Structure formats: C-alpha cells, structure tokens
Structure 1
Amino acid sequence: MKETTDNYFYIPQIKRRNQKAAIFKYLTIFAIIFSISFLLFFLVDIVRAGYPAFMQTKVKIEVQITEDMIENPYGAVNGKQLKIVSRAWLRDLPLLIKANPAWMNTKQEFWALANSEVDQYLKGKESRTSERDRNFVDELKKEGKIELQFNGRFLTEGDSKIPENSGIYSAIVGSLMTMIVTISIAFPIGVMTAIYLEEFAPENKFTHIIEVNINNLAAIPSILFGLLGLAIFINFFGVPRSSPLVGGITLALMSLPVIIVSSKAALKSVPASIRQAGFGLGLTKWQIVRDHVLPVAMPGILTGSIISIARAIGETAPLIIVGMIAFVPDAATSFTDSATVLPAQIFTWAGMPEKAYLERTAAAIIVLLALLLSLNAVAIYLRKKFERKW
C-alpha cells in the first residue's frame, strides 16, 4: 500500500518535470531560430544594399584629343555629356593624354565614368537628375552607349569627395598596417604574460590583484582605450596622430586582456599529468612549459588571440579618438603616415548626404564582414589542426 501511495505522488512530479524540460527545449529552439533569422535578415539586407556599389555606370564617348584639353579637359565633351560625365574622369583625362602622346590630334573612344546621380538613376534609385538629362540617358541606353560595369575603382581607389570616384583601397591598407602593429605587440606580450601568471607566478595576493585587474580591463569600454592612446602615446610620447602606429598600439592595449585571459584558460586546460611527467624525467619548469605545455595549449591560445584581433579590426571608437577618422585619399606607405581604417571609413560614409555613399557604406560593411568571417574561419582551422585528443 505504501509503495502504491509513493508512486501516486511520484508520477505527477515526473510529468511536471518532463513538461518543464519540453518547454525549456522549445524555448531554446525558438531562441536559436530567432537568432539565425535575425542574422540572415541582417546579411540579406546588407548584401541587397551593398552589391550595387560593385557596379558603376560608364558612358561611351568619342573625344577629339587636342593640346587644349591638357589645360581645359572640360572641352572634351559637349554640353549634354558634361552633365552626366564625372568630374573625376575629366580631371584625370589630362594625365591620360600625357601618358599617351600618340593620341594627340586623333579621335579616341572612352568609357567615361558617369556621375553619381546618373548612376543612381540607371540603378533605379532616387536621383536628382533633371528630366532632360534622364531622356538623354535613356537615348544612350537604347544605343548601347551607357551601361553598368564592374566598379574596379571601389577596390583600387581611396576616399574621395566625388561619390562615384570613392573607394576603400586606402582604408584596407590602413587596416592591414594597423593590424600588423596590433598583432606584433599584443600577441607576444599577451602570451608571455599568461605563461608567467599561470606557470611561474607565485600564488599570493599581489598576483591575485593583477589577475582581477586584467579581467576587469577586458570589460572596459573601448573608447577609454582611445582616450588612453590620445593622452599617453600622442600627447606624451609624440607618436604621429592618425597613423597606423598609434592606432595599432591603442588596439593592442585593448586586445591584451582578452588574449591574456584566453591564453591562461588554454594553459590551465593542459592536463597536470604532462607537467608531472616532465618533472619525473628531470626537466626544468621552463623546458616543460616550452616543449610540452605550450604546444598542447597553442590551439586555444591561437583561437582566443585571433578572435581578439578580429574584434579589434571592427573597432571604431578608439581609432576616432586617435584621429584615424580623417579624410585620407591616398594609401599610407609607412606606419607613421596618416591613414584610415575600414570601420572609420564606414562611419564617415554613413554620414554623407549623397545617396551613392549609402551603397558604398553597405559594400564596405560586406568587405569588413568577409574579413571578420575569414579570421574566424582561420581560428577554427588552426584549432582543429593543432588540437590533440586525450
């Protein structure tokens, strides 16, 4: 009788637990589906807005090359063409003529860059072109003298005040140079600090305070690191403002806490038996760490470091503080030259009034996302490649 009574109370409890487990399961599935849906919506919207920037309107025109065009390139086109051809292309025409002296006094055919308003009209977007210019563009389209072509300038030119002539080349170069500085400083210092704290530092109150402060630094807003870079590196040490050097050092400081924490976790995950076996063979502490512990922990160290660097690539706030938001049309040639980076370029274009900059903003975001996804893929590959099964 007692057993029957116990089962009577026990069965409803099992049912309630199963119901709660099922509800929790469905909630987690819903959360995953919601997150994936939001991510897909974001990616689709960004691609939809950004892919037109990889195409640019070109106009086919015939030009009678004369010496006067070197001084007055605007005479190369007639009144109707002048309203649809980009000022950037007309500005570069004298350089093109000088580079090809055999063209003098001959008629040449060019695919000229169209201005941004004509480009927006041909892409079916809002445009400020007049009705007369639209009719002229429609005529050229019927004749096959105006069309959308791959926009190579977007990847080979720097920033420009002329929307159709702007590109991300200088920002990509600036980002790469900044990341070189960041990795060169943050990775060796972060890994060596983690090795000391985890393997060699004595267990006392001082090291505990250091570890607590490192963990706290990982949660500090990134803009504070920008203020530190401005106050210390620029104002005190005189590092050139807006340069990849000052930007890289600032991002290295921001990345250090994450690299140290992830490296310590990777070192801590190494089985203690490896250390004990090394001591049993008469190896020194340094030999054990260098030849056995560090190789085993390297996949985790690389993963944490790459993810930290990927986060630094997408940072804007600290770089704005150190001046890397400046208008930089030409790519930097040294680590002390003025430069900009992709996040800062995106921030600048997002505030521009011309519609053509909006699609370039989305296109630059696509490039930045591709770079971040590539770095994360590299982190996963390295982790799988060097991971050791126990």
Structure 2
Amino acid sequence: MTKEERLKKRHRAEKRFRFYGLTSIFVALLFVVILVQNIFSKGSSAFKKTVITTEVFFDQELLEIQNGASQEEIMEADFYDIMIENLIKAYPAKDRDEEDELLKLFSGDAEIEIKKAFLNDNNLIGKTITLDLTASDDIDQLHKGNYPRDLPEERRRISDFQLVIYDYFVENKKISKNFNNYFFNNGDSRDPELAGIGGALVGSFYSILICLLLAFPVAVLASIYLEEFAPKNKITDFIEININNLAAVPSIVYGLLALQILLATIQLPRSTPLVAGITLALMTLPRIIIPCRASLKAVPPSIREGALAVGASKFQSVFHHVVPLALPGTLSGTIIGLAQALGETAPLILIGMVAFVVDIPSSPVDPSSSLPVQVYLWSESAERGFVEKTSATIMMLLSFLIVMNFIAVYLRQKFEKRWN
C-alpha cells in the first residue's frame, strides 16, 4: 500500500469516526426531545384547574352568625348547608338524584372555598357573590380534553346527565380554567384536583438544606486534610480507595444504613426531612470530596511555595491561598452532588417518606414527602388527574436540576483561575 493510499484510508477513518460521533449526538438529543415533549404534553395542563362559576347567597338562618363575626366564630360555623343550598341552584335539577349528580361535579373543597371567601369579607350575610369553585377531577379532565366522552356510559365515570350539565355550563360560560394554586399550596390528597406538591417541595427543601449543612463542611475539611496535611502512607491510601468506592455505592444501600442506624438504633422520627437530610449527606459526602480534592490538586505548587517563601505557615498557605483558589471547583462539585441528592428516591422510600402526608411540614422533624417520592406515589394512582400531576412534578424536578447545574457551570466559569 502506497503512502497516498494509507493517507486516504486514514482520512476515511476520520470521516467515519466524525460521522459516528455526530450521529450519536443527534440520536441522544432526539431521545431527550421526545422525553421532554412527552412530559410537557402530559404535565402542562396540571398548572391549570377547571372552575365552575357559581353564585353564593349567604343565608343568615343557615349560617347562624352575624356580620362582623370573629375569625374563630367563622371557623366554627358550618358552611355545609350553605354549600348545598347554592350548588344545587347552579343547574335546574328535577329531583334528588339529579341534585346528587350535580353535586359530584364540584370538588370536595367547595365548602372550604366558600368559607375562605367569607373569611376574606365577614360582612357578606344577606349578600350574593360570585365564586369560582374548583370542579371535580372528572370534569377537570373532561374540560381539558383528556377525558373521552364518546364511550358508552357504563365505561365512563361521568354519566350522561352530568355531560348534559357540563354542556349547560359551557354554553352559559360558567366553566373555565384558572391558575392551579392548589398544585403549589396543597399537600397530597386522595382527590387529584386537590393534590399538590407543597408538602413535597418543603420536604425536599429541608432535606437538601440539612444535607448541605452536614456534608459540605465535613467534605471540604476532609479534602483539605487528605490533600494538604495527611502523610502519604497505607492508611491514607486505604481511606482514598474507600472514598472512591463509597461514591459508587448504590443509593439504596445508604437507605438500608439509615433504616438500621438512624431509625432502629438512634430512633429518630420516621418519615422526616431530618432523617432524609442525614441519609443524603452520607451519600453526598464522597461525591463532594472527590471534586474538592481535584480542585485543590489543580492549584499550582508555585502558589504554596510562594506563600511559604514570604513567611506564611503551612496552615496560612493552605487556607489563605490554596483553598480560595480551589473554591469554584469545590462549589460546582457540591451543587452537582446536591442535584443528584435532590433526585434520589430509593433511600427516602426506605426511611418512610413514602407515607401519605397531607399537611405541609413546618419543621425538619415533621412527617413529609419529597419531590421524587411524590412522583413515585402518584405514578401508581389510576386516576387520569394524577398522570398530569406526575408529569408536572417531573417538570418541576427537572427545572430545579437544570437550574442547579447552570449555577455550577456559572460559578466555575466566573471564578475559575486559568494557569499558563
């Protein structure tokens, strides 16, 4: 084979390699686009909720309270009769069965929504106001186009009479879609139209905060000691090997560890962000130590030598010169580690955060859920309303992960020093 033929063969190999690389990137991006499009198409409707515009008359005989009543009196008052009296007027029903069918079109929160309206203005006795009351999940999915209405009645959760009422509401412009504040303000619920990620969002925040407070200082100090002060011997070699091994341990192993030590032995409260944060800190610790040590090692030896040459101690040269220069890489590694911890599910399931929790936690020791666990819980539910809630929660989780990764890249590019 001549020199020209060998050169042509090498060029063809380079072109094939470039083609294979570009094809791989294109296929990967295609799958990402398909995944994101599928999630957004299913989850975007969760940020809207269907409401039914209803006129509500506050009858004093039914409420048994006066105008100007205190908040305690309003909270103790029974608004159930007021709710029933006004909801059955939304459509001219003929008998009790039709009234029951009509009431099923409203969510179970209708009474609370009416009470909240009176709490905002306690001088409504004898007055009629217009409220947008949340519709039931079935009507919500029907109005969003996610519910097939052409099926036989026995295969639908909505009866033919309820479809007639729905068409009446649409014709009279009494049904619309508003921003779904319940999705962000409420905790979990058995009713899809009332379920929200409020509890999971706060639980994830507490968990990541505890994880950061525990893992970051320990990881940084351990990295500084191992890289700058520890003698190079078999003991430190053993520690380094185990740090690398711990970074590759499956997360569920940390859940088993927390289950045995934190819950069974120390008996910390179950299903709380406190236990979740400690578990995630143990898991994140080696993932922060490794990039932190790499950042310390990347600082040129001349920085250390220059500091020592002007009379600085070893401690001063490390903490006054080396550590600040290694901080960008340390922070970016920490943020990426926290982003990985934010998406963990298996260890949190083992410590009980898979429990059904309605209330939003007010402290790290209150029972709670987390965003990835909430996705796991809703994905097992059969109602169509939970399908969009699951996809919307994934959208929120992906948004947080993307933002955290962008922050890591920004910090590295802004503060990183380049050495010639």
Q: Would you call these one fold, judging by a TM-score over 0.5? A: yes
AA aligned to 2:179 is F
152-161 vs 255-264, which deviates more?
Answer: 152-161
Q: Does structure 1 residue 276 correspond to structure 2 residue 305?
A: yes
Alignment TM-score, normalising by the size of structure 1: 0.94
Alignment TM-score, normalising by the size of structure 2: 0.88
Supply the distance in 1 between the matched residues of 2:331 and 2:304 (Cα, whole angstroms).
21
Aligned to 1:4: none
Aligned to 2:238: 209
Aligned to 2:108: 87
Aligned to 2:32: 39
Q: Is the 8 A contact 1:88 1:162 kept in 2?
A: no
Give the 3 Å change call, closer, same or farther, for CA 334–302 of structure 1 in structure 2.
Answer: same
66-75 vs 228-237, which deviates more?
Answer: 66-75
Aligned to 1:188: 217
Write out per-residue CA displacement over residues 78-111 of structure 1, whole angstroms, 9 at most, x where no aligned residue: 1153121111223553464466442223323211
Write out per-residue CA displacement over residues 240-290 of structure 1, whole angstroms, 9 at most, x where no aligned residue: 111111000000000001101111111111111111212222221111111
SS at the partner of 1:268? helix
SS at the partner of 2:213? helix
147-156 vs 104-113, which deviates more?
Answer: 104-113
> Which residues of structure 1 form unaligned runs of 5+?
1-7
Aligned to 1:112: 133
Supply the distance in 2 between the matched residues of 1:107 and 1:263 (Cα, whole angstroms).
65
SS at the partner of 1:87? coil
Q: Does structure 1 residue 157 correspond to structure 2 residue 150?
A: no
Supply the distance in 2 between the matched residues of 1:331 and 1:74 (Cα, whole angstroms).
29
Q: Does structure 1 residue 359 correspond to structure 2 residue 368?
A: no
AA aligned to 2:18 is K
Aligned to 1:316: 345
SS at the partner of 1:60? strand
Equivalent residue runs for 1:131-170 within 5 Å: 131-170=160-199
SS at the partner of 2:357? coil
Aligned to 1:70: 79
Supply the distance in 1 between the matched residues of 2:185 and 2:13 (Cα, whole angstroms).
58
Aligned to 1:304: 333
Equivalent residue runs for 1:316-335 within 5 Å: 316-335=345-364
How far off is 1:386 after superposition? 1.0
Write out per-residue CA displacement over residues 328-373 of structure 1, whole angstroms, 9 at most, x where no aligned residue: 1121111111111111111111111110000000001111111111
Supply the distance in 1 between the matched residues of 2:53 and 2:119 (Cα, whole angstroms).
21
> Which residues of structure 2 form unaligned runs of 5+?
64-77, 89-98, 149-156
AA aligned to 2:36 is L
AA aligned to 1:306 is I
How far off is 1:40 after superposition? 1.3
How far off is 1:11 after superposition? 2.2
**Which of 15, 25, 28 is the equivalent residue of 1:22?**
15
Q: Does structure 1 residue 129 correspond to structure 2 residue 158?
A: yes
Q: Is the 8 A contact 1:70 1:97 kept in 2?
A: no
Write out per-residue CA displacement over residues 288-345 of structure 1, whole angstroms, 9 at most, x where no aligned residue: 1111111111111111110000000000100011111111112111111111111111
SS at the partner of 1:139? helix
How many residue pairs were aligned?
Answer: 383
Q: Is the 8 A contact 2:102 2:162 kept in 1?
A: no
Q: Is the 8 A contact 2:58 2:124 kept in 1?
A: yes
Supply the distance in 2 between the matched residues of 1:107 and 1:276 (Cα, whole angstroms).
81
SS at the partner of 2:293? helix
Write out per-residue CA displacement over residues 22-52 of structure 1, whole angstroms, 9 at most, x where no aligned residue: 1111111111111111111111111111100
AA aligned to 1:355 is R
Identity of aligned residues (%): 39
Give the 3 Å change call, closer, same or farther, for CA 65–213 of structure 1 in structure 2.
Answer: same
Aligned to 2:268: 239
Supply the distance in 2 between the matched residues of 1:335 and 1:309 (Cα, whole angstroms).
17
SS at the partner of 1:240? coil
Supply the distance in 2 between the matched residues of 1:251 and 1:376 (Cα, whole angstroms).
18
SS at the partner of 2:178? strand
Q: Is the 8 A contact 2:253 2:347 kept in 1?
A: yes
SS at the partner of 1:165? coil
374-383 vs 247-256, which deviates more?
Answer: 374-383
Supply the distance in 1 between the matched residues of 2:308 and 2:341 (Cα, whole angstroms).
39
Supply the distance in 1 between the matched residues of 2:225 and 2:236 (Cα, whole angstroms).
10
Supply the distance in 1 between the matched residues of 2:9 and 2:131 (Cα, whole angstroms).
77
Supply the distance in 1 between the matched residues of 2:229 and 2:353 (Cα, whole angstroms).
39
Q: Is the 8 A contact 2:79 2:111 kept in 1?
A: no
Supply the distance in 1 between the matched residues of 2:358 and 2:113 (Cα, whole angstroms).
15
Supply the distance in 2 between the matched residues of 1:158 and 1:133 (Cα, whole angstroms).
29
Aligned to 1:230: 259
Supply the distance in 2 between the matched residues of 1:60 and 1:226 (Cα, whole angstroms).
48
Supply the distance in 1 between the matched residues of 2:13 and 2:312 (Cα, whole angstroms).
54
Q: Does structure 1 residue 345 correspond to structure 2 residue 374?
A: yes
